């Protein structure tokens, strides 16, 4: 008779997850952190880290993929079931900002280990979803812009990166950043500032 599996993660799985979680923290603190630094912080020997990730690039690539997946999932959850384009844009932006640590990792790695082009390629599904929200809003007259939807989606993406850098550099208070970023996204799409501020206050209330 075959033994029943418990479904509990193996020691190797637990170690791998710990290494990834610690690496996220270490790379946010120091985007140039070495495998030795990550191993020490995780409380394992260097060989254990390399057993799971054959190179620093492999570790960074896994973290980048996880960060992009988290951003995509948050964006999808924020816009799910919301018909109004302005509210959909606001909710999806706020949802992404709630996992700001993942977004901050993308910002940091874009400047060092992973090319900006590589991250932009990974974020294509999120950008396309944003462009669809913007397209609907422009067609309905909820948004107003001289830019076509996809170009405006690029503006929004780069603005989010810039605002996250502003938080990292201490120019924008982290506790205020989500709401401020969302109002900025809405006004960039042509929503009047008063309406944008009111909508974000309602969603944050």
From CA 109, how far away is CA 102, in angstroms rounded?
11
100 CB contacts (<8 Å, ≥6 apart)?
164, 167, 174, 177, 178
CA pair distance 22, 39, nearest whole angstrom: 9
Per-residue pLDDT of the chain (205 residues; tens, 9 = 90+): 444 444 566 877 788 889 999 998 898 888 888 999 999 999 988 999 999 999 988 898 888 888 889 999 999 999 999 999 999 999 999 999 988 777 777 777 766 655 656 777 888 999 999 999 999 999 999 999 999 999 999 999 989 888 888 888 889 888 888 999 999 999 999 999 999 999 999 998 7
> Which residues are CB-contacts of 69 (< 8 A; sequence separation ≥ 6)?
none
- What DSSP assignment string belongs to 99-163? THHHHHHHHHHHTTTS-HHHHHHHTHHHHHHHHHHHHHHHHHTS---SS-HHHHHHHHHHHHHHH
């Amino acid at each position: 008779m075959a033994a029943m599996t418990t479904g509990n993660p193996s020691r190797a799985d637990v170690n791998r997850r710990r290494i990834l979680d610690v690496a996220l923290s270490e790379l946010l603190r120091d985007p140039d952190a070495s495998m030795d630094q990550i191993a020490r912080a995780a409380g394992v020997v260097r060989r254990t880290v390399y057993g799971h990730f054959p190179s620093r690039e492999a570790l960074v690539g896994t973290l980048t993929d996880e960060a992009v997946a988290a951003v995509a999932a948050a964006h999808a959850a924020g816009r799910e079931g919301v018909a109004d384009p302005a509210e959909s844009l606001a909710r999806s932006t706020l949802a992404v900002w709630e996992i700001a640590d993942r977004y901050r990792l993308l910002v940091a790695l874009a400047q060092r280990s992973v090319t900006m082009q590589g991250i932009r390629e990974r974020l294509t599904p999120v950008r396309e979803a944003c462009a669809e929200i913007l397209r609907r809003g422009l067609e309905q007259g909820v948004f107003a812009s001289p830019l076509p939807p996809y170009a405006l989606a690029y503006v929004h993406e780069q603005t989010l990166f810039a605002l996250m850098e502003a938080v990292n550099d201490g120019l924008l208070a982290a506790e205020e950043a989500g709401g401020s970023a969302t109002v900025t996204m809405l006004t960039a799409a042509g929503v009047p500032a008063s309406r944008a501020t009111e909508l974000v206050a309602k969603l944050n209330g």
